[in-house]
């Protein structure tokens, strides 16, 4: 059920479970418009069409060896004492088709990848043959019996005609590109990348080029978020950060919501005097979806809607901002790209060390996976405060620690959410 802005005030917020918030957002994450792009531009884009095989693959009986195409029946009597000699009647290089037929007592020279000629039902490796000229013709000598079908890849060995190979929503990478190329899909229909505006709020923020000044910090969230948007399949648009000024932020968000498919802001969602995004989402400008999530970091993660478009107002604390993106923005981007698995993949691991913090909310602890003796261990980052930035780079998962009154001991089974770019 949607909450109204009246359900919240600055200090008394109703925390939603992560899954509840994800469900609310899912109403807005629908596969978006499509476009056609060249195959060579399609790496890491998301298919918007079903790919069916227009022909079997391979499309013809293919030789797997350089050697001779023969009739297996002709080799039945041969041995090292009794060489069978066959007349070589043609040669089939790759890319050519012989118009002759292999008949009893004959063979054809053939190369790896060439179409096996009519009449032949096996290919003998070159190394297992000898050659001679005999009464004006070239002959191949065989010393060993060969079974029918040997060294021939049958038609449709990999793919049958009409087989569905890929569904919309599939991320295109090397294997997918190989399929598309093999079936002549040189123009690929993909989902358009959602255009995501990003800006940070905070009077303390400097651009990355600026020298440090007293009390100020460089804006890292905007760049981190742009990288996350890109990785999730969207197109980030970095907008200039705004001071902690409600009117400025309001104008900027409203404009960005008109121009882009969604807007991400960072900062100003807590209860501080200058937490203007918290005030903004409670205003009439937008419909707030939530402003508190039962999680840490990122308990103040907020979202709102205007004219069907989402504003993700993430926490300014870098750790909370990162996690808020992974749990809420990534799935939205993935849904607009047709993905049927928009959420982070969940695995189970063994907690490698005691986790001593306790909390009424579920914790999403930055961590690293380590496989030892076939067991997957989850190692929490040394510092996991929501304000901590530097451990994000060393994490390949989020370790899910359910609400607990006592420490979670080493050896506990824990859920882990796999971050993208993880080596596993």
Ligand X SMILES: Nc1nc2c(c(=O)[nH]1)N[C@H]1C(S)=C(S)[C@@H](COP(=O)(O)OP(=O)(O)OC[C@H]3O[C@@H](n4cnc5c(N)ncnc54)[C@H](O)[C@@H]3O)O[C@H]1N2
What phi and psi values does residue 131 have, to the nearest 5 degrees?
A: -120, 150
Q: How many CB atoms are closer than 10 A to CB 211?
A: 7
Distance CA(294)–CA(37), nearest Å, equals 42
In 3D space, the residue among 85, 80, 81 whose CA is nearest the CA of residue 70 turns out to be: 85
- In whole angstroms, the minimum distance from the beta carbon of 226 to ligand X comes to 11
Among 300, 378, 399, 419, binds ligand MOO (CB under 6 A): 300
Nearer to Mg ion, 310 or 320 (CB): 320
Task: Give the x-and-dash track for 258-297 against Mg ion (CB under 5 A).
Answer: ------------x-x--x----------------------
Q: How would you class 402 by CB atoms within 10 Å of its CB: exposed for 0-12, middle for 13-18, buried for 19 or more?
A: exposed
Counting DSSP H helices and E strands in the chain, the numbers are 7, 26
Nearer to ligand X, 334 or 362 (CB): 362
Between the alpha carbon of residue 418 and those of residues 247, 281, 284, 347, 383, the distances in Å are: 39, 31, 38, 7, 19
Q: Is position 320 an interface residue for ligand MOO (rule: CB under 6 A)?
A: yes
- In whole angstroms, the minimum distance from the beta carbon of 359 to ligand MOO comes to 9
**Helix or strand (DSSP H, E) at 318:** helix 318-324
Task: Choose among Mg ion, ligand X, ligand MOO, none what residue 148 binds, the Cβ cut-off being 5 to 8 Å by kind.
Answer: none
Q: Could you tell me how many residues of this chain bind ligand X (CB under 6 A)?
A: 27
Q: Is position 201 an interface residue for ligand MOO (rule: CB under 6 A)?
A: no
Q: Is position 300 an interface residue for ligand X (rule: CB under 6 A)?
A: yes
Distance CA(376)–CA(101), nearest Å, equals 58
Task: Choose among ligand X, Mg ion, ligand MOO, none what residue 217 binds, the Cβ cut-off being 5 to 8 Å by kind.
Answer: ligand X
Nearer to ligand X, 74 or 384 (CB): 384
DSSP classification of residue 170:
P
Q: Is position 298 an interface residue for ligand MOO (rule: CB under 6 A)?
A: yes
Given the rule CB under 6 A, which residues bind ligand X?
200, 202, 204-205, 217, 219-222, 266-272, 275, 297, 299-300, 315-318, 320, 386-387
Given the rule CB under 6 A, which residues bind ligand MOO?
296-300, 315, 317, 320, 386
């Amino acid at each position: 059920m949607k909450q109204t802005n009246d359900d919240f005030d600055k200090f008394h917020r109703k925390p939603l479970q992560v899954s509840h918030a994800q469900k609310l957002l899912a109403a807005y994450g629908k596969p978006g418009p499509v476009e056609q792009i060249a195959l060579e531009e399609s790496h890491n884009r998301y298919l918007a069409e079903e790919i069916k095989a227009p022909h079997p693959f391979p499309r013809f009986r293919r030789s797997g060896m350089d050697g001779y195409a023969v009739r297996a029946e002709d080799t039945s009597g041969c041995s090292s004492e009794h060489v069978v000699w066959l007349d070589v009647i043609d040669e089939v290089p790759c890319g050519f088709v012989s118009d002759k037929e292999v008949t009893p007592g004959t063979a054809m020279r053939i190369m790896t990848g060439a179409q096996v000629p009519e009449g032949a039902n096996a290919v003998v490796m070159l190394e297992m043959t000898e050659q001679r000229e005999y009464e004006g013709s070239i002959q191949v000598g065989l010393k060993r019996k060969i079974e029918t079908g040997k060294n021939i890849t049958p038609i449709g060995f990999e793919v049958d005609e009409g087989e569905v190979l890929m569904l919309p929503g599939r991320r295109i990478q090397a294997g997918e590109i190989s399929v598309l190329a093999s079936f002549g899909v040189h123009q690929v229909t993909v989902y358009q990348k959602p255009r995501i505006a990003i800006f940070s709020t905070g009077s303390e923020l400097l651009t990355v080029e600026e020298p440090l000044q007293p009390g100020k910090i460089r804006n890292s969230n905007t760049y981190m978020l742009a990288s996350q948007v890109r990785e999730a399949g969207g197109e980030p648009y970095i907008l200039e950060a705004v001071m902690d000024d409600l009117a400025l932020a309001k104008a900027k968000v409203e404009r960005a919501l008109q121009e882009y498919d969604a807007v991400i802001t960072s900062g100003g969602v807590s209860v501080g005097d200058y937490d203007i995004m918290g005030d903004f989402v409670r205003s009439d400008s937008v419909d707030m979806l939530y402003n508190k999530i039962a999680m840490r970091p990122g308990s103040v993660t907020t979202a709102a809607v205007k004219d069907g478009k989402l504003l993700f107002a993430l926490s300014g604390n870098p750790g909370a901002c990162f996690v808020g993106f992974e749990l809420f923005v990534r799935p939205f981007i993935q849904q607009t790209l047709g993905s049927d698995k928009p959420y982070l993949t969940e695995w189970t691991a063994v907690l490698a060390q005691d986790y001593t913090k306790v909390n009424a909310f579920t914790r999403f602890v930055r961590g690293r996976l380590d496989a030892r003796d076939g067991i997957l261990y989850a190692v929490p980052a040394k510092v996991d405060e929501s304000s901590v930035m530097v451990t994000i780079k060393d994490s390949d998962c989020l370790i899910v620690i359910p609400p607990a009154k006592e420490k979670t001991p080493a050896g506990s089974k824990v859920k882990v959410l796999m971050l993208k770019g993880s080596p596993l």
